[in-house]
Chain A
Amino acid sequence: MFNLTLSPAQTELVIKPGITLTQVYFVTNNSEEVIILTPSVLPFTPLGLDGSVTYDETVQNPNIEFSLGNPDLKLNQNFRLNPGQKTELTLQIKTYPQIPPGDNYYTFFISEAADTTFNTIPQSTARLGSHLLLSLSDTENPASQGKIQAFTASPRFKDIFLTPITFHAQAKNNSDFFFKTTGTLTITKNKLIIAETKLDSQNVLANYSRNLTCQNQQPCTISPPFWPGQYTATITLVNTSSASPASITFFVFPFSFFLGIIILFLLYLTSKRLFNKLHHASK
């Protein structure tokens, strides 16, 4: 049984080209059996808008080399982990001085080795990965450029009661360095702040987009009741050098209020007619 814990699950590093550094990973065998494992490193590219990754057609940067600092182990070489055992794997990341500035993304994998003595039937194996986001930069705080796109409110025309309003938006990264979606969603009416919530801090990788969510990875929503009128929703990112705030407007109308009045009026008319009919009948 494959039952592993890998720590840390993600590492984000800003390093100067030419530096060699070390990242320690801890691998724990949570099972009651010996597991044969293989460490490896693969580059990844982002997939979609929600933090997914893909490993296809991703080319290894020739200016970055990975190796293990453990004296008795190399990358892509099997090692044995006893039940309950925790071990340290020291990944050495060597960067060459000529590497162009920008981000490089990798996953450090621990794979279960296939059982070669057992190859007459199908086998299933597992591997567990930890992401490594490397920013190669001559400056300590590389500049990123982002913008908000596809910002919508749903529904745009809303009743004062009933369902909440949900906001959707994406952060687009137009630079070679990832940034975090630190910022706020602010709802204003007549320049008064009605509601303000923090954005969830997610990584937007270089030259990719990501859906925004609000605090605690919840959808960005505001709940009724609302006062009728025109509202403005503004998203502000604070950690990119060029992301200007993005705003949209939405409208709240007292649909249900008017509907209630109409229903009451119709009820009044109906009961009045009924009353008149009964009155005439009694005469």
Chain B
Amino acid sequence: MKLKFLLTFNFITLLTFYFPPAFVYAQHFSSDTYIIDWGNFNVTSGRKASTNYQLTDTVGQNAPGLFSKNGYVVKSGFQYIHDTFFNFSFSLENQKLAIDFGSLTPDIGTTDSNIISVSSPSGHGYEILAHQNHPLMAIGHGLTIPDTPCNVGSTCTESVSGTWTTSTVYGFGFNTIGINTSNTVTGVGTSNYFDNSGNQFRQFADYSRSENPQIIMSENSPAKNRRARITYKVNISGVQPAGSYQNAITFTAVPKY
């Protein structure tokens, strides 16, 4: 009897030694700066589907809310993040924000350019929209350099591109042409809006005339380091009053939903 007891005791002791009880938290989340331990279990959660029904559920939680921290997303109770995708990047290479045309000479078009770059490595692509707050305007005078109408017979608007090569057509416009990392023209992302010749231009959508920002570059699939050159062009007539003309142009990058 004593031997039996000793054998059983030793067996249980050995079991405890080799298979010690682990510390158990109902839910444990941690990051560099936070640790969250919750005192409740989920009975069940997730997406369920049958022929006729679909269900996303969480059963058993008692602290509804949404918490996220450094890459962790806690979906609890009634709110759900069904899907997310991460890291959308956009750059506009423009020192000091300036578009610098310098001093303008009548009947000779002057240009300046910026490079934009966009990365949307997941999701459904991206689009870049552009608008201006008002036409080029001389401060204090209210005089403007109008938006370019493009060549006669090749009319352009904020949503339609046209050829602008004639030196006697005056105004302000721009184009966008897709390039690669070697600055070689590819037209990727921009060919639906401008051809690759560099002679097609558009007007900026004008907020002061209630025009809506227009798409100037887009793709429908994930893209990485997609680049384009924005070329701004201005051409004035000999009767254009002297002055400092300015406006603000905004490029908006958003993912496709």
A interface residues (Cβ-Cβ under 8 A, vs B): 1-16, 19, 21-24, 30-31, 46, 50-56, 105, 107, 109, 111-112, 114-115, 118-131, 133, 140-141, 180, 200, 202-203, 205, 213, 216-217, 238-239
Which A residues are in CB contact (< 8 Å) with B125?
Answer: 51, 217
The total of interchain contacts (Cβ-Cβ below 8 angstroms) comes to 210
User: A127 is contacted by which of B94, B117, B253 (Cβ under 8 Å)?
Assistant: B253
Instruction: Among A112, A115, A119, A140, point to the contact of B139 (Cβ < 8 A).
Output: A119
In the assembled complex, 29 residue pairs joining A and B whose CB atoms fall closer than 8 Å, in A order, are A4-B91, A6-B87, A6-B88, A7-B87, A8-B87, A9-B87, A9-B120, A10-B83, A10-B257, A11-B81, A12-B82, A14-B79, A46-B257, A50-B256, A51-B256, A54-B212, A54-B213, A107-B254, A115-B97, A124-B92, A124-B230, A125-B92, A125-B249, A125-B251, A127-B250, A128-B254, A129-B254, A217-B221, A238-B49
What residues on B are CB-neighbors of A217 within 8 Å? 124-125, 220-222
Select from chain A the residue with minimum beta-carbon distance to B128: A126
Contact of B89 with A by CB under 8 A: yes
Residue of B at shortest CB range from A107?
B254
> Measuring CB to CB, which residues of chain B are less than 8 angstroms from any residue of chain A?
49, 54-57, 65-69, 78-101, 114, 116-117, 120, 122-125, 127, 136, 139, 212-213, 215, 218, 220-222, 230, 232, 244-257
Cβ contacts under 8 Å, B83 to chain A = 10, 12, 180
| Complex alpha-carbon distance, A44 and B37, angstroms | 38
Given that A52-B256, A128-B253 are known contacts, is A121 also in contact with B91, CB under 8 Å in the complex? Answer: no
Instruction: Decide: B124 and A124 in contact? CB cutoff 8 A.
Output: no
The secondary structure that dominates the A interface is strand
Partner of A53, one of B92, B116, B254: B254
A123 in contact with B249 (CB, 8 Å) = yes
A7 to chain B, nearest CB (A): 5
Do the beta carbons of A118 and B221 come within 8 Å of each other?
no
The answer on a CB contact under 8 Å between B54 and A121 is no
Please judge, given known A-B contacts A13-B80, A22-B67, A131-B255, whether A31 and B215 are in contact too, CB under 8 Å: no
* Contacts A114-B97, A120-B244; A128 near B88 (Cβ below 8 A): yes
